[in-house]
Amino acid sequence: MNRRGFTQLKTHLLLATTNFPDRTCIGTFAPTGSSFTFPDNDGPHSDRRFFRAVLAE
């Protein structure tokens, strides 16, 4: 990751969880800037959800 957030043009995994031990990959993205928009289709089915983006290997 760079200082602004993401390593540009590299594939990242977007992980989601409702409890931190269990994370699920809900998609991939290759950012072209320091932010991105990703729809969370399962979001309405949980009280809260947490996200993490990691560089794919």
- What's the pLDDT score for residue 3? 42
Residue 1 pLDDT > 50: no
The pTM for the full model equals 0.73
Instruction: Give the CB-side neighbour count of residue 21, counting CA atoms within 13 A.
Output: 0
Name the phi and psi angles at 2, rounded to 5.
Answer: -95, 180
pLDDT, one tens digit per residue, over 29-55 is 888 877 778 888 887 888 888 999 888
Q: Are 16 and 41 in contact (CB under 8 A)?
A: no
